[in-house]
Amino acid sequence: MKVPMLSACGLVILSFTVSGQSIYSFDVLDIDGNSVSMENYRGKVLFIVNVASKCGFTYQYEGLQVLYDTYKDRGFTVLGFPSNDFLHQEPGTNEDIKEFCTLNYGVNFPMFTKIKVKGRNAHPLYQFLTGKDTNPGFSGRIKWNFTKFLISRDGQTLARFSPNMKPGESEIITAIENALE
């Protein structure tokens, strides 16, 4: 079903739901193995990122943490989803990933268990984010680590950023600030 909506910057966007599914329809496991409903994030601006510890873009953890620290008090959060889908660049256990991120980058934004983000066995959240029917305009396979999705307070995808776009780039900052207004 298509539902027209007015975005913060005055553009009309189309909201799509398929079989009642939305970003809030999914449960995920946090890095410690606890079940978390995405419904818990309703009303927040989300920055969903597939991450890896042994990637050329791993340094982006630092920028993601800066974004989180800068905007968390305004209803923004980063959600990190480790994945080993690209050249085995996230080989560790969840405990290894948590320790690496904490010790090397001071990560304290929500991190989740390692998942698949591409292919038939992709986690349902990523099937939703990349699906032609569920996320038109932002669909398509995840091509590498550190692909970023900006989600509005009402669960709509506002933007998708490539892995090589750093978290502190002006385009990302502007999109986040517009979403928070």
Which residues are catalytic, by number?
55
Of 96, 112, 98, 101, residue with least CA distance to 37: 112
Residue 3 has phi, psi (to 5 degrees) of: -130, 115
| 160 vs 137: CA distance, rounded Å | 9
Helices first, then strands: H and E counts in the chain: 4, 8
- Which residue has tokens 């929500």? 110
What end-to-end distance do the CA atoms of the chain give, in Å? 27
The one-letter amino acid code at 123 reads: H
Locate tokens 């304290």: which residue? 108
